[in-house]
Structure 1
Amino acid sequence: MNSIVLEDNDRQEQNHAVIILASGLSQRLGQPKQLLIKNGEPLINYMIRLAVSTNPQSIVVVIPDKHPAIASAVTELAIQYPAVQAVLNSKPDTGMAGSLYLGIETIASFEIASLDADSIEKVLIMGIDQVSLDELHLTALLAGDQTVVASGYCSWQRLEKHQNLDEAESNKNSATRKPANHIIGLPLAINYKLLKQWQAMLVGDKGLRYLIRRLPADQIGTVINDNLTYDIDTPDQLIYAKQRGWLDEKS
């Protein structure tokens, strides 16, 4: 598995689409993480703007149905950016793979409508709650030439057991360091033709990760970014993100 160093001059030149997986119900958090506030706007809007910054052909945002506030936030940006398309997931509790399936299906429908089967070469797949994600990291993922270029980062330690958060924070800026407990995950860029082939096999929460692990090592690249460790799943993690200034206090 090859490691890619983030560089300012890594810029995406190939055609791509984006799928933002944002249909989770945030049951452990107790409130919709899509509507947490970052830089004065809902977190889902922040992530959509990051996706827009990569200049994709289309951005598919998969959201839960029956959540009008989330739908309204996406609709607001869809008016501003025509590439943005909201897709409602009527079964958000069935796992991430179901949302990804809907996203792939929507991109395929765009292809049919445009009559250009070769217009999309890669798909950038993003989550919603990695609050330190930035444009530079997404650009580095898209710049890789492997079949899959995924993000690499450490696992969250429970806050009540994490005694050295400040020390860990000071060591997170190396783009090449690969600790023993490394996670390979979202966001990632993947060859679109392969993703379509895998669509029918996506089931549950770990469908895509399982399929990626079956690829030869030389087809998988990684961009190391330990800032992505800090996703928001629990109230303690939300408090920590606010303390660090990654989310607004009114979230």
Structure 2
Amino acid sequence: MSKRAFTEGAEHTESNQQHSQNHAVIILASGLSQRLGQPKQLLVKNGEPLVTYMTQLAIMTNPQVIVIVIPDNHRLIASAITALANQYPTVQIVVNSQADTGMAHSLSLGIETIAAFESTSIDRVLIMGVDQVLLDEPHLTALLAGKQTVVASRYHSWQRLEKHQYLDETVTDIIGLPLTINYKLLRQGQPELIGDKGLRHLIRGLPADQIGEVDNDQLSYDIDTAEQLAYAKQQGWLDS
């Protein structure tokens, strides 16, 4: 993300402070990228590590606090995000020493950090990852503009590379990250967060009218395999 683009985004964000300043952000960035074979947090987009790029998107939404959960013993990831944290006091770094146990522990660490922030005005939490390379600030703004208890992203599943046809229309759409969720509900559901399914089960227990969706098929393109990484670079979504 260029400095100009970031500045323009920040100016745009100022006009949206009224509806966006009552939220916190949790960035789940502690994955070990075992299928990819290299840290996806350090893939480069517009000249900067992907974890930094995604944090800047979060900053544009003007949250009260941003919690970035990173894996333990990854000096390069920590270094990449520490510079940004030094620049923006709202950015808090949390190290997950149990990154191999699944997403739920990272989410619990993020919730605990927000709770320690002791802000009574936080009513929603935006939860996002780092590898949806076409995620942009307008999509995050649309999620935050929703009024339901949960507002999730809806997109197709990106299937195996096969003749450059990634979208298998026979696969059920994904409803998932990034999403916003009521902070009190998230706190209440924290004990249920186990492995990779806690948040999913929490959301499934809600009445349908309490779940909103924002469609964005660009979010189908996350990076889990070497094939997906090669395709993203070919398309110019990531730097070569």
1:54 and 2:61 correspond: yes
Query: How far apart, in 1, do the equivalents of 2:196 and 2:38 lie?
Result: 20
Shift of 1:179: 8.3
What residue is the counterpart of 1:240 in the other structure?
231
Q: Within 2, Cα distance between the matches of 1:220 and 1:88?
A: 31
133, 153, 157: which one aligns with 2:135? 133
In structure 2, the residue matched to 1:18 is 25
SS in 1 for 2:189: helix
Match of 1:39 among 46, 56, 76: 46
Moved over 3 A (4+): 8-12, 162-165
**Within 2, Cα distance between the matches of 1:194 and 1:179?**
33
Q: 1:67 to 1:180 in 2, by over 3 A?
A: closer
TM-score after normalising by structure 2:
0.90
Answer yes or no: is the 8 Å Cα contact 2:152–2:180 preserved in 1: yes
Paired with 1:222 and 1:179, the residues of 2 have a C-alpha distance of 20
Is 1:195 paired with 2:186? yes
What's the CA shift for 1:163? 5.2
**Letter of the structure 2 residue corresponding to residue 164 of structure 1:** Q
Would you say the 8 A contact 1:154–1:179 is kept in 2?
no
Paired positions, count: 225
Query: What is the TM-score of this pair, normalised by structure 1?
Result: 0.86
Aligned residue runs from structure 1 range 150-229, under 5 A: 150-160=152-162, 164-165=165-166, 181-229=172-220
- Structure 1 CA distance for aligned equivalents of residues 29 and 80 of structure 2: 12
User: Is this contact kept in 2: 1:11–1:140, CA < 8 A?
Assistant: no
Deviation at 1:33, TM superposition (A): 0.3
Structure 1 residue ranges without an equivalent (≥5): 1-7, 169-177
1:61-80 aligned within 5 A: 61-80=68-87
Q: What SS class does the counterpart of residue 239 from structure 2 fall into?
A: coil
> 1:117-132 residue pairs with structure 2 within 5 A?
118-132=120-134
**What amino acid sits opposite 1:75 in the alignment?**
T
Coordinate RMSD, CA, aligned = 1.9
Instruction: Answer whether contact 2:157 2:171 (CA < 8 A) is retained.
Output: no
Alpha-carbon separation, structure 2, partners of 1:189 and 1:30: 30
Percent of residue pairs bearing the same amino acid type = 71
Per-residue CA deviations over 1:173-193 (Å, capped at 9, x if unaligned) read xxxxx9862110000000000
Matched AA of 1:131 = V
Q: Which has the higher contact order (CA 8 A, sep 6+)?
A: 1
